[in-house]
Amino acid sequence: MLVTGAAGVLARQVARHLVTAHGTRSLLLAGRRGPAAEGMSELCEELRGHGAHVTVAACDVADRDALSALLAQVPADRPLTAVVHAAGVLDDGIVQSLTPERLDTVLRAKADAAVLLAELTRDTGAALILFSSLAGTLGGVGQANYSAANAFLDAFATRGAAEGRRAQSLAWGLWAERSGMTGTLAEADRRRISRSGLRPMATADALALLDTALHSTEAWFAPADLDTAALRHSDGPVPDLLGDLVPARVRHTTRTAPTASTTPAAESTGGGLAERLAGLDPSARHRAVLEAVLAQAALVIGHDTPDSIDPERGFLDIGFDSLTAVELRNRLSTLAGVRLPATLMFDHPTPERLAAHLLERTAPADPPAASPVLDLLGAWEAQFADAFADPALHDGLRLRLRALLDRLDGIPAPAPDAVSGVRDLDSAVDEVSDDELRAFLEGDLDDA
Ligand SMILES: NC(=O)c1ccc[n+]([C@@H]2O[C@H](COP(=O)([O-])OP(=O)(O)OC[C@H]3O[C@@H](n4cnc5c(N)ncnc54)[C@H](OP(=O)(O)O)[C@@H]3O)[C@@H](O)[C@H]2O)c1
């Protein structure tokens, strides 16, 4: 068996497991550092102690010539039966900071290498076991390049299997054991991952899931420990894909009933911001929004309590970076029920200023006076009800209405030809004020 990324923590554990639990007797371990990687000679000694024949090679598996030369070393009397492709690198950053080079770095080790491995081992009939990540399925903060690389692996294995090859992509959740990739995660990052519903897996549990996958004929697996209780009690965004596990109504009610596992910072945030504000005297609203901002900020940067955050101090000075800024934006968007721009924290650089902005966006509006424009909106509403009943119009409507909300929120709109079929909406929209339109859209779309 060939294991790529062999110096990595997961690959080492898998190599051990293959030898001790699956009786693998011949292993080719490949990584760019080869035998020079720390701990490799000890690993080889250990595996040989179990009776395995082990070869370690320095090989960049995304390099066609190097990989071809490596595969040429496979002895005829021990032909290749499987490839475990566990090579990978990270280059995290918010999407605006990603350059073609930063995409290449991450795609190369995972996707390019997988394509080469498939091509160069096709004649051997060896099984392809690709190590992917749940980031490809659910997304990950600051991991657009990594998510794309893993999504590619998932699709590539699925296609390979459909074409008759033994191919599997395992979209791993987080392993508890720290690796080259996860070793730099700070405590705040780990808490963020836990809040997103992923419990770190003990190595033994992960290897048991590996066995489950290997014994199945499914091309795609997500071996992960999903903590649905954490998702249910989260007041942050839940990935769409997990929505069925955590229905919106359940989340809504449980938000106001934090469990013992919820941190003190999370407890103080309570439920939907607009609902809380509606029940407060106007003079108390700023304080309530500020408390919510401070509680979410504390949660994101891993403080146990919001008390240690000075509301007048800049976010950057209290430890925020571009990734945590995005997470805070996402959490506040969910809490406030409004779409907020990615630049939120830079436009409103202290908790005080951000709270003032959020209050403007979420404060309950005074009841609107009667006007002909509102009558027009009433007529629209009736037409929208018809459109909501027609599933064929949903995608077009959703896209169009989102684009309008983005305009209201100052977020650049998508290309005009990205939507079609609802052009008459444009002229009608121009006849009402932004505030009226926003109130209408946010109220009615939430019900839809
Ligand atoms: N750890 C987790 O919780 C987790 C979760 C989800 C998915 N995964 C996936 O599991 C795999 C292993 O991850 P890990 O956590 O064990 O990371 P890791 O410790 O950083 O191991 C990855 C290894 O890949 C090797 N590598 C990178 N580019 C290569 C290339 N072009 N050719 C050959 N080897 C290359 C590196 O060694 P050299 O520098 O010597 O080349 C490195 O040791 C990755 O694909 C990762 O995406 C891990």
> In which order are the strands placed within the sheet that holds 167-172?
53-58, 26-31, 2-4, 82-85, 127-133, 167-172, 220-221
Q: Do the domain assignments include residue 235? A: no
- In a mutational test of the pocket of ligand 1, which residue from 3, 9, 10, 116 has the highest number of ligand atoms less than 8 Å from its CB? 10
Look at residue 276 in the predicted model and tell me its pLDDT. 84
Q: Are residues 337 and 395 in the same domain?
A: no
Q: Do the domain assignments include residue 237? A: no
Mean pLDDT, residues 192-214: 93
Q: Are residues 102 and 32 in the same domain?
A: yes
Q: Do the domain assignments include residue 248? A: no
pLDDT at position 444 over 80: no
Phi–psi pair at 215, nearest 5 degrees? -85, 0
Ligand 1 atom index nearest CA of 7: 43
Ligand 1 atom index nearest CA of 175: 3
Residue 233 CB less than 6 A away from ligand 1:
no
Look at residue 321 in the predicted model and tell me its pLDDT. 85
Q: Which letter does DSSP use for residue 110 in this model?
A: I
Q: Do the domain assignments include residue 419? A: yes
Phi–psi pair at 427, nearest 5 degrees? -65, -35
Q: What is the pLDDT of residues 344-374, one digit of tens each?
A: 998 999 999 999 999 988 876 666 667 777 7
> How many separate domains does the chain show?
3
Residue 62 CB less than 6 A away from ligand 1:
yes
The full DSSP string for 323-360 is HHHHHHHHHHHHHHTS---TTHHHHS-SHHHHHHHHHH
Q: What is the pLDDT of residues 88-109, one digit of tens each?
A: 999 998 888 899 999 999 999 9
Look at residue 245 in the predicted model and tell me its pLDDT. 80
Q: Which of 362, 380, 405 is the last residue of a domain?
A: 362
Phi–psi pair at 168, nearest 5 degrees? -140, 140
Q: Are residues 358 and 400 in the same domain?
A: no
Q: Quickly state the pLDDT bin for 59 (edges 50, 70, 90).
A: very high
The CA R_g of the chain, rounded to the nearest whole Å, is 26
Q: Which of 314, 332, 362 is the last residue of a domain?
A: 362
pLDDT at position 193 over 50: yes
Look at residue 404 in the predicted model and tell me its pLDDT. 75
Q: Quickly state the pLDDT bin for 252 (edges 50, 70, 90).
A: very low
Q: Quickly state the pLDDT bin for 178 (edges 50, 70, 90).
A: very high
Q: Are residues 353 and 403 in the same domain?
A: no
Look at residue 228 in the predicted model and tell me its pLDDT. 86
pLDDT at position 417 over 70: no
Q: Are residues 199 and 105 in the same domain?
A: yes
Contact 298, 305 (CB under 8 A): yes
Look at residue 248 in the predicted model and tell me its pLDDT. 59
Across the strands, what pairs with 225?
Answer: 199
Mean pLDDT, residues 385-401: 81
Q: Do the domain assignments include residue 150? A: yes
Cα–Cα dist 287/302, whole Å:
22
Ligand 1 atom index nearest CA of 200: 3
Q: How far is the CA of 177 from the centre of ligand 1 (A)?
A: 13
414: helix, strand or coil: coil
Residue 320 CB less than 6 A away from ligand 1:
no
CATH of the domain at 149: 3.40.50.720
Look at residue 255 in the predicted model and tell me its pLDDT. 37
Q: Are residues 19 and 165 in the same domain?
A: yes
Mean pLDDT, residues 313-320: 92
Task: Please give the residue that has the higher pLDDT: either 311 or 281.
Answer: 311
Buried b (16+ CB within 10 A) or exposed e, 116-139: bbbebbeeeebbbbbbbbbbbbbb
pLDDT at position 266 over 60: no
Q: Are residues 395 and 353 in the same domain?
A: no
Q: Are residues 274 and 222 in the same domain?
A: no
CATH of the domain at 301: 1.10.1200.10
Look at residue 435 in the predicted model and tell me its pLDDT. 60
Site of tokens 């506040």: 332
Look at residue 414 in the predicted model and tell me its pLDDT. 53
Q: Are residues 320 and 393 in the same domain?
A: no
Q: How far is the CA of 162 from the centre of ligand 1 (A)?
A: 27
Task: Please give the residue that has the higher pLDDT: either 412 or 356.
Answer: 356
Most confident of 42-46, 415-419, 433-437: 42-46
Q: Do the domain assignments include residue 250? A: no
Q: Do the domain assignments include residue 243? A: no
Task: Please give the residue that has the higher pLDDT: either 84 or 323.
Answer: 84
Q: Are residues 180 and 271 in the same domain?
A: no
Cα–Cα dist 190/213, whole Å:
26
- In a mutational test of the pocket of ligand 1, which residue from 104, 130, 181 has the highest number of ligand atoms less than 8 Å from its CB? 181
pLDDT at position 11 over 80: yes
Look at residue 156 in the predicted model and tell me its pLDDT. 98
Mean pLDDT, residues 238-249: 74
What is the pTM assigned to this prediction? 0.73
**Averaged pLDDT score across all residues of the chain:** 84
Q: Quickly state the pLDDT bin for 422 (edges 50, 70, 90).
A: very low
Q: Are residues 161 and 72 in the same domain?
A: yes
pLDDT at position 6 over 90: yes
Q: Are residues 276 and 336 in the same domain?
A: yes
Q: What's the one-letter identity of residue 399?
A: L
pLDDT at position 235 over 80: no
Look at residue 368 in the predicted model and tell me its pLDDT. 64
Closest residue by Cα to atom 38, ligand 1, is: 32
Mean pLDDT, residues 18-25: 97
Give the domain range for residue 269: 263-362
